[in-house]
Chains A and B, each alone.
Chain A
């Protein structure tokens, strides 16, 4: 039989570990960024332990919007917003969560391309892995038939509370030949 004092010591060690975890969480959450060292522990706590915050003002103020047009037999199609189409499909069939996953995927790719666009020329953007991935997904999974050109418009819809209206901030717009973009995966 283990003695009471040994039991206490083991329990106390567990308590100390939990207390350190709480202490670190509080410090990383409240301490100004300039004071905190930039090491693995702090980054780990920021990314994994202090999950959130969700529905922050900066995120709910702007909605992403990606519109695609494609030229087939020398005729431009109507602009299509696949994200919007997928959301409508989810609302119709709420058990098909893959539609929401598509929206997340589209948002991630477009945001990455927007970041590349800020720093690089059009030529380099077309060579970037996120652009090649988006082109590959668009042509193989969404459009599904050969097209001569694609036009992509991406930006943020900003809702104005006072005017009760939206304005659109364009982040990038490209018209390109999908067949000239390199493959992402062989």
Chain B
């Protein structure tokens, strides 16, 4: 009981002591903004084509109308919408993390989700929910009162933790489903994936046809997804599981043709880095550069 009490006290203080890993969090936020911007640019012409034939329906409430006003602008003139989104994203990318910028980012992500709804997938939904948890992850304006400053840190750290939790939930939900599904247990699910039109990269035809390979890959996926849920919180296993995850998503990107989901997940890994990791990486690269120059 005493142990639990101490743990609760320790956890409570971890929310208010400092802004946790502000550099890593900043890089994550900027990467997410950059990724969204790239997406808008890449889908510019296609979204124009779709909007020429697709109608967006107005919500009934005034709050809904105000929230989705940019989406209705897109319904009338998608070029103006896309230009405004990119311009605002550039501003958010370079401006310090302020509650206004994090809120605008969520607002734009919500409207992009509505505009992209006719062709949206899991990646768009993930981007939206990550953008939502990013709202409290701002350090500006700095609250002057002591209580305000502690509340600001608590909100910031909660946002960061909820973002991390979101990534973990995705792995848990997917891993659990695979664990209880017979075709994933037997590896046959991989056979389905290999024969899935418009998804499986034909450059890999014949490479995953062997039932033993399918069984191994199937269980590697299940074990990775469920192990990530636990191992990412432990200091000793955090970096190795993130490195495995990067390869896992590269595989999904290249073999299963899901670049947007894979890239969003890869960006979300920055959330699990600590400022000390970034410091280590920086000194590692500068050491490499020095040795190369010599």
Contact = CB atoms under 8 A, between A and B. Distances in A.
Interface of A: 1-2, 6-8, 10-15, 17-18, 21-22, 25, 29, 47-57, 60-61, 63-65, 83-84, 86-87, 90-91, 94-98, 100-105, 108-109, 129, 133, 136-137, 140-141, 157, 159, 161, 166, 184-185
B146 A14 contact: no
Contacts of A184: 53-55
Contacts of A96: 42
Contacts of B150: 2, 6-7, 10
A45 B15 CA distance: 24
A17 B183 contact: no
Nearest to A137: B53
Across the A-B interface, give the 8 residue pairs with the lowest CB-CB distance, nearest first. Answer: A11-B12, A53-B177, A98-B46, A63-B197, A105-B119, A104-B119, A2-B146, A60-B192
Prevailing SS type, chain A contact patch: helix
Nearest to B196: A63
B203 interface: yes
B169 A49 contact: yes
A120 to B, nearest CB: 20
A104 B120 contact: yes
A101 B192 contact: no
Interface of B: 8-9, 11-16, 42-43, 45-46, 49-50, 52-55, 116, 118-122, 125-126, 128-129, 146-147, 149-151, 154-155, 157-158, 161-162, 165-166, 169-170, 173-174, 176-178, 181-184, 188-189, 191-193, 195-199, 201-203, 257, 259-261
Contact of B174 (A55, A105, A166): A55
Given A6-B147, A87-B197, A140-B53, A12 B177 contact: no
A34 B201 CA distance: 40
Contact of B118 (A55, A63, A109, A141): A109
Contacts of A102: 46, 119
Given A104-B119, A137-B49, A57 B183 contact: yes
A57 B184 contact: yes
A17 B119 contact: no
Contacts of A52: 122, 170, 173-174, 177
A159 B209 CA distance: 14
A91 B203 contact: yes
Given A48-B129, A96-B42, A102-B119, 8 more contacts: A14-B16, A52-B122, A64-B198, A84-B197, A86-B198, A97-B260, A100-B259, A137-B53
Nearest to A132: B53
15 contacts: A2-B146, A6-B150, A7-B13, A8-B13, A14-B154, A21-B165, A51-B166, A53-B178, A60-B189, A102-B119, A108-B118, A133-B55, A136-B53, A161-B188, A185-B53
Contacts of B169: 25, 49-51
Contacts, number: 183
A105 B117 CA distance: 9
A182 to B, nearest CB: 12
Contacts of B53: 133, 136-137, 140-141, 184-185
Contacts of A166: 195
A61 B181 CA distance: 13
B197 to A, nearest CB: 4
Nearest to B201: A91
B198 A63 contact: yes
A137 B234 CA distance: 51
Given A7-B150, A97-B43, A55 B193 contact: yes
B168 to A, nearest CB: 10
Nearest to A162: B188
A102 B188 CA distance: 28
Contacts of A14: 12, 15-16, 154-155, 157-158
B119 A10 contact: no
Nearest to B129: A48
Contacts of B203: 91
B15 A101 contact: no
Contacts of A51: 122, 125-126, 129, 166, 169-170, 173
A53 B174 contact: yes
A29 B173 CA distance: 8
Contacts of A21: 162, 165
